[in-house]
Amino acid sequence: MIQVGIFTGYFPYTLAEQAQKIRALGFNTVQLDLAFKDIDFSTPESITLEKAKLVRETFRDHDLPVSTLSGYTNIVHPDPAARKAKLDYLKALLRNARNFGTAYVISETGTFNTESDWVAHPKNKTEAGWEDCRAVIKELAQTAYDHGAMFLLETYVNNVVGSVEETVRMFAEVDHPGLGLLMDPTNYFESHNIDRMDAILKQIFDTLTDKIRISHAKDVKRSGDDKGEKHADIDASEAHSFRGVGEIELPAPGLGSLNYDYYLRRLAEKHPNIPIIIEHLDESDVPRAKKFLDGRLRANGV
């Protein structure tokens, strides 16, 4: 059966408190955010074997194996110094992923927009921007491979890799054992294709199934009057407070229009035991979201 997990970053506590609270909610795996009230992981140098082992063993003690590690950053930031700092940290995560108990580290592919990691920029859709991003992804895949890990690309519409076609192209051009795919179907939808949801979902799975390693569970719907960048007021990183931009809103699972039945059936065809990680919510909404997801998994026999 598909394994239901959650990001640790929605629980702003100490390491031990995080593990206790997540396990009490019935989860059996986590996507690890290195955000704890009692341990610093703010620089590459702060990521040590000793601290990684402590985190790994704490979650193991609570029957919560770490399925993947969050490495979200803007990998194509146009400022050279900012990009170097971001990539240095991401590479440190890749080098240490196994010490945390997983082979997988995830990031989206970034934008040349300097104001937000989730807002488009004209260069994102140019060949120059593509070649720049491809070179970075190739380097990250090699770093991962050299350390027994895998870099998971997460497609997002406003980033350099933002569509099914672009995702397929990137995997064709970076055909590397250190590169895999984080499957989040909600990230492929824009105003022009959300009304063709089932066709887009079919295209995603028909072309990318063999690249998938981990999956996410949030939702998607058209925005209301607010067309700006949307964030929730929670004690978490911007990656976790983000709720969409422009015409598209990305709420918690069960609060949008994603065809979850089709998504879960197609996911389970080739990945029957894959972790699916709940996101885009706050701590108070976790029980509802888990109940919704568990219900859809049961209904579809996966």
- pLDDT at position 72 is 97
Lowest-confidence segment of 20-34, 111-125, 131-145, 172-186 by average pLDDT: 111-125
Region 19-47 average pLDDT: 97
pLDDT in tens, 108-121: 999 999 988 878 89
Number of Cα atoms under 13 Å in the Cβ half of residue 58: 21
Exposure string of 3-16, with b = 16+ CB inside 10 Å and e = fewer, is: bbbbbbbbbbbebe
- pLDDT at position 276 is 98
Whether residue 224 has pLDDT greater than 80: no
Using alpha carbons, list the distances in angstroms from residue 48 to 54, 75, 98, 238.
10, 23, 12, 25
pLDDT band of 177, cuts 50, 70, 90: very high
- pLDDT at position 233 is 87
- pLDDT at position 214 is 98
Residue 141 CA, chain-centre distance (Å), reads 16
More confident residue, 233 or 54: 54
- pLDDT at position 147 is 98
Region 143-155 average pLDDT: 98
Number of Cα atoms under 13 Å in the Cβ half of residue 174: 28
Contacts of 148 (CB under 8 A, 6+ apart): 97, 98, 103
- pLDDT at position 102 is 98
Spatial separation of the C-alpha atoms in residues 233 and 108, rounded to whole Å: 22
Region 2-18 average pLDDT: 97
Q: Domains of the chain, with CATH numbers?
A: 3-299 (3.20.20.150)
Q: Are 185 and 263 in contact (CB under 8 A)?
A: yes
Q: Are 15 and 23 in contact (CB under 8 A)?
A: no
Residue 38 Rama label (left phi>0; alpha psi -120 to 50; beta): alpha
Lowest-confidence segment of 63-77, 164-178, 213-227 by average pLDDT: 213-227
Region 32-52 average pLDDT: 97
